[in-house]
Amino acid sequence: MEGVSYQRFPKIKIREVKDDYMKFELRETDASIANALRRVMISEVPTIAIDLVEIEVNSSVLNDEFIAHRLGLVPLISERAMAMRFSRDCDACDGDGQCEYCSVEFHLRAKCINDTTLDVTSKDLYSSDHTVVPVDFSDASSTIDNTESRGIIIVKLRRGQELILRAIARKGIGKDHAKWSPAATVTFMYEPEIYINEELMETLTMEEKQEFVDSSPTKVFDINPRNGQVYVHNAENYAYDDEVLKKAEAMGKPGLVEIHAKEDSFIFTVETTGGIKASQLLINAIEILKQKLDAVRLSADTVEADEQFGELGAHMRGG
Amino acid sequence: MNAPDRYERFVVPEGVSKVSYERDTKIINAATFTVEREDHTIGNILRMQLHRDENVLFAGYKLPHPLQYKILIRIQTTSQSSPMQAYNQAINDLDKELDHLKNAFEVELARHNASQQREF
Ligand SMILES: [Zn+2]
């Protein structure tokens, strides 16, 4: 009964990794896998975000729900998220989200006592768990250049204004609310394959060659100054805009270049909010996708129901 | 006010089974799988994996409505296989592919980090 395997063995090559940025090549698989990974990275890899705010004192210019919303959007270090429980299926606290398995408590206390405006930032949030803290963008290896980082501004206070609150952060996914998405951007493109018909290209004058090269809105082609030949400067700059193909057609030289999208080769760009590392985001996405596949396996009772159906069918056919 | 809870999109309600299976009454070796609280992510990878199976004559999926949080996967196979066998095989193959991918990425990440260190 065991069928033959149609499994693929994809290859992966990293081009660049930073804490919150990664570029890699994925080969020998199809667009459905590439797109599933992209979708899972954006909306199904869990992170931790503030989900409940109890305001004790708020005499700032922003109303309570405005502040609660801003707090929710603050990215928190979420290395713990994969191992945490969702509040809705936590049996330690019956889902009210107040226990250590499914929540992290934060406190914020700020008052402006002089004439200079006080910035209340994510650095004023005190966490009950030192592993779950607001993302610090002053990190040296981060792509964001912020030398005098003071955190993310939540509200500004003038003399006499005060803000005291307690917040509960919970595990969640981007599908529930975008504040839980670990991804700033996740994109992939098909790797382009460009052939130049050298013979036809040599029938062009220098001016025509330059015109052809300039017809691309992005720098895909260039001219070698030594031998005057058109060469592919960077195939990946091609945006599948067809401009060079239209130009070739207009010059009466169809087939001057041929451009194909390789169907099994993808270039990914991943940027995170800083909550989890870009490399970890891909690992978590693969893990989540595996869990999702496992959840859609047929259960014993669906198989049993079909067997009964089969017997009934056989019985009916047999008369 | 009367908006459904956001978690309705991905939490299977009590008493509803995640996957249900219905044989086609007119065509032999054809069936429809209804998968609750899933979308294009699972639907499309399963469909494409099923297309790799030479005993699969037809495989398709649809998301009937954006506010109905389920997908329908329809499979027809030759007499050499069955929709259920093809479905299980597709899941197993995808699972192994992802295992391979995870492993390949971890090896590549270690290699990349080691080569970065050498440069400094
Ligand atoms: Zn709990």
Q: Which residues contact B106 (CB under 8 A, 6 or more apart)?
A: A283
Bridge partner list, A107: A126, A166
**What percentage of chain A carries pLDDT values higher than 70?**
89
Contact A166, A56 (CB under 8 A): yes
A145-159, A246-260, A297-311, B94-108: segment of lowest average pLDDT: A297-311
| ipTM, interface predicted TM-score of the complex | 0.96
Q: Which two tokens stand for residue A197?
A: 């018909």
Q: Which chain A residues are within 8 Å of B91, Cβ to Cβ?
A: 293, 296-297
Could you write out the DSSP letters of every residue in A242-282? -HHHHHHHHTT-TTSEEEEEEEEEEEEEEEE-SSS-HHHHH
Q: Does residue A142 register a pLDDT over 80?
A: no
Query: How many other β-carbons are positioned within 10 Å of the β-carbon of residue A35?
Result: 17
**Cβ within 8 Å, pair B106-A283:** yes
| Distance of alpha carbon B54 from alpha carbon A69, whole angstroms | 52
Bridge partner list, A221: A232
Contact A53, A170 (CB under 8 A): no
**Confidence class of residue A317 from pLDDT cuts 50, 70 and 90?**
very low
A38 to A192, A238, A264, A271, B99: CA distances (angstroms): 19, 21, 15, 11, 17
pLDDT of A145:
53
Contact A18, A142 (CB under 8 A): yes
Contact B45, B59 (CB under 8 A): no
Query: How many other β-carbons are positioned within 10 Å of the β-carbon of residue A127?
Result: 17
pLDDT of A263:
95
pTM value surpassing 0.80 = yes
Q: Which two tokens stand for residue A267?
A: 């270039």
pLDDT of A308:
60
B28 alpha carbon, distance to own chain's centre:
23
Helix locations, chain A, DSSP H: 31-43, 64-72, 198-201, 206-214, 243-250, 278-295, 300-318
What angle, 0 to 180 degrees and rounded to 10, lies between the N-to-C axes of helices A31-43 and B40-51? 160
Q: What is the mean pLDDT of residues A38-66?
A: 98
**CA A37 / ligand 1 centre spacing (Å):** 29
**Cβ within 8 Å, pair A302-B95:** no
Q: What value does the mean pLDDT of chain B take?
A: 95
| Distance of alpha carbon A182 from alpha carbon A80, whole angstroms | 13
pLDDT of A300:
75
How near does any CA of chain A get to the CA of B1, in Å? 16
All structural domains of chain A, each given as residue ranges with its CATH number in brackets, are 48-180 (2.170.120.12)
pLDDT tens, residue by residue, A99-109: 889 999 999 99
Q: Which of A1, A134, A109 is nearest to A54 (CA)?
A: A109
pLDDT tens, residue by residue, A277-307: 999 999 999 999 999 999 999 987 776 666 6
pLDDT of A93:
85
DSSP for residue B38: -
List of E strands, A92-174: 103-111, 118-121, 126-127, 153-157, 162-172
Interface of A with B in 197-236 (CB under 8 A): none
| Distance of alpha carbon A237 from alpha carbon B28, whole angstroms | 50
Question: What stretch of H or E contains B31?
Answer: strand B30-36
| Distance of alpha carbon A291 from alpha carbon A295, whole angstroms | 6
**Cβ within 8 Å, pair B41-A10:** no
Count how many residues are written for chain A: 319
Q: Is B85 an interface residue toward A (CB < 8 Å)? A: yes
**CA A104 / ligand 1 centre spacing (Å):** 10
pLDDT of A301:
72
Q: What is the mean pLDDT of residues B42-66?
A: 97
Q: Does residue A224 register a pLDDT over 50?
A: yes
Q: Which chain A residues are within 8 Å of B109, Cβ to Cβ?
A: 14, 17, 279
pLDDT tens, residue by residue, A262-282: 999 999 999 999 999 999 999
Report residue A175: phi and psi, to 5°.
-65, -30
Is residue A112 helix, strand or coil?
coil
Q: Which of A148, A151, A180, A175 is nearest to A47 (CA)?
A: A180
Give me the sign of the Cα torsion angle A252, A255, A257, A260: positive
Q: What value does the mean pLDDT of chain A take?
A: 91
Interface of B with A in 18-57 (CB under 8 A): 18-21, 23, 35, 38, 40-42, 44-49, 52-53, 55
DSSP for residue A83: G
pLDDT of A234:
95
Residue type (1 letter), A139: D
Q: Which residues contact B44 (CB under 8 A, 6 or more apart)?
A: A32, A35, A36, B61
Question: What stretch of H or E contains B101?
Answer: helix B83-119
